[in-house]
Amino acid sequence: MRIPQVTCMRAAAPNMPTLPNLHADSRRNISLWLWVGFSLCAVATVALFFIPAFIIRPFRYQAPRALVLAMSLRQRAPLGALIAALGCVFLAFALWRIVGRRRKGVIATVLVLVIFSAVMARLNYFEWMFHPIAGAQFLAQSGSKLDAKEMIMAIQFGGDARAYPISQMAYHHVLNDVVGGVPIAVTY
Amino acid sequence: MHFYLAGINNQNFLMRDKETGSWWQQITGKAIYGPLQGAALELVLSDELTFGEWRTEFPAGEVLAPVVKYTKEYDPNWEPDVAKLPVVISFPGTELKSRDVVIGLTVDGAARAYPWEAFAKQSPVLDRVSGTPLLLVLGPDGKSFRVFVSRVDGQDAEFFLQANTLQTNPTADVEKKSDATKQWTLIDTTTASQWNFQGCAISGPAQGKCLDRVPALKDYWFDWRNYHPETTIYKR
């Protein structure tokens, strides 16, 4: 992926302002390294978000090794993608001054993807699909509108009994609760 | 610790804890990745009951309130709707279909699955896993279920449902069965005591005694089988 970009850059060189040969060479070298760095940072950022997102997608088979890869990338993604994206932005600034308009277009497009990935790596989009319950409220039985036939999950600690309607838990999936002083995670 | 939804692993979800960021498998309660990998949460005994059954058992109990903002997202037909979702893993060699509902339980490391339909028809089901006598009971409402160790005072016990209240149609309207529901009792063959759905003797020589509970999970076959590859299937 990197090599074609380097080639393009060289092809673009003749359009640049004429400079003494020595300068042109070192300049070419610098811009080559800038492109290599920029590409590496971009690939890293995008991979840190997209690879786990692709592996852990609903209604698809998750192979055990792929899942481990997804979890390990996702574990490192919030910080890793941020650092890589910052590197990208820094290198993009450096490149911006020495490339032509078409290359600027490429840089801008890649940057958009990079920033999107870095932001997504820090957000939990599963909770956009299934919102968590913030500050669960409980009702007395008389206050509940549940039908007698509706299924609930029930627990009891000491004298405290609680019911979690499955229709609600099937959406929220996870609820952190404390019953009779015992912290529990209710899942469906 | 506090958990949040973090992904899906072959239709059994993954959660992470806010404290360490470790990844936990829903069904097993085990951390499968991250700083706490290998750790396991303690399973709490819980029930899957109808609201009606639970209400009579725990009149002072509290119910999780619906979150107003998301009430539109709650699916009153979650059961048939979830059953329609595609499956990504299957076990073609086995005699059950992926979306068959089973009661799954583990005794001393041995797992067994009870196909729901057979269980509901035969309830109460007496069985033995790892030498432990078990009693699986469908509730008076025809939807709730519980599993007990079928042992009274250290002696293996057998139970039957009192004949005049036998539930044969689990889909019948709960309201219409209210009379039968009130009389729902199990009888043990050793002392002829009467037992309620909570597993406690309400009259007879064993009065006041309660059976030990066995944690059991209502699950789809594919999911139970995936996490319990050695599971056996109950046959009459």
Paired strand residues for B186: B161, B195
B181 pLDDT more than 90: no
Q: Which of A69, A96, A123 is the last residue of a domain?
A: A123
pLDDT in tens, B3-24: 999 999 998 999 999 999 999 9
CB pair distance less than 8 Å for B175 and A124: no
Residue B167 confidence (pLDDT): 52
Which of A 108-127 lie inside 8 A of B, CB atoms? Answer: 124, 126-127
β-pair type (B110-115, B216-220): unpaired
- Shared domain for A112 and A145, answered yes or no, is no
Please check whether residue A6 lies inside any domain of the structure.
Answer: yes
Q: How many residues does chain B have?
A: 236
Q: Are residues A82 and A170 in the same domain?
A: no
* Per-residue model confidence (pLDDT) at position A7: 38
- For residue A136, being part of any structural domain is answered with no
- Taking only the tens place, the pLDDT of each residue in B149-166 is 999 999 999 999 986 644
Residue A182 and residue B44: Cβ atoms within 8 Å?
yes
**Alpha carbon of A66: minimum distance to chain B alpha carbons (Å):** 11
Q: What angle do CA B127, B123, B228 make, to 5 degrees?
A: 50
Task: Identify whether residues A28 and A111 lie together within a single domain.
Answer: yes
Specify if A131 maps to a domain. Answer: no
In a shared domain, residues A84 and A145: no
Q: What integer is the mean pLDDT of B38-66?
A: 95
The identity of residue B15, as a single letter, is M
Yes or no, beta carbons of A126 and B44 under 8 Å apart: no
Same domain flag for A95 and A177? no
Instruction: Report the pLDDT value the prediction gives residue B62, as an integer from 0 to 100.
Output: 96
By DSSP bridging, strand B216-220 and strand B101-107 are: antiparallel
Helices (H), A56-177: 64-96, 101-120, 126-129, 166-172
Q: Is A154 in contact with B61 (Cβ distance < 8 A)?
A: yes
Which structural domain range is residue A65 located in? 2-123
Residues 6+ apart with CB under 8 A from B189: B157, B158, B159, B160
- Report the predicted TM-score, pTM, of the whole model to 2 decimal places: 0.84
- In terms of domains, do A9 and A85 share one? yes
What confidence tens digit (pLDDT) does each residue in B79-102 have?
888 888 888 888 988 889 999 999
In terms of domains, do A110 and A161 share one?
Answer: no
Answer with the residue of higher pLDDT: B167 or A32.
A32
Task: Give the pLDDT score at A31.
Answer: 87
Q: Which of A145-149, B78-82, B199-203, B204-208 has the lowest mean pLDDT?
A: B78-82
Say if A145 falls within a structural domain. Answer: yes
A160 and A117 belong to one structural domain: no
> B54 and A154 in contact by Cβ < 8 A?
yes
Residue with tokens 């020589």: B205
Distance CA(B219)–CA(B11), nearest Å, equals 12
> Across the interface, which of B4, B26, B64 has its CB nearest the CB of A163?
B64
Q: How many structural domains are present in chain A? A: 2
Q: What is the model's pLDDT at position B94?
A: 87
A159 and A113 belong to one structural domain: no
Q: Is A154 contained in some domain?
A: yes
**B177 has a pLDDT exceeding 70:** no
pLDDT at B208 over 50: yes
Residue A107 shares a structural domain with residue A182: no
Are A102 and A66 within one domain? yes
User: What pLDDT does residue B80 have?
Assistant: 87
Q: Tokens for B236?
A: 């009459």
Q: Is there a single domain that holds both residue A147 and residue A119?
A: no
Nearest to B22 by CA among B12, B13, B32: B32
- Using an 8 Å CB-CB cutoff, list chain B residues near A144: 51, 63, 65
A135 lies in some domain: no
Burial class (CB in 10 A: 0-12, 13-18, 19+), B131: exposed
pLDDT over 70 at B109, yes or no: yes
Structure token pair of residue B88: 């990504």
Whole-Å CA distances, B207 to B17, B102, B154, B224: 44, 32, 16, 36
pLDDT per residue, tens digit, chain A (188 aa), is 444 443 334 444 444 555 556 577 787 888 899 999 999 999 999 999 999 999 999 889 999 999 999 999 999 999 999 999 999 999 999 999 989 999 999 999 999 999 999 999 999 999 999 999 988 999 999 999 999 999 999 999 988 999 999 999 999 999 999 999 999 999 99
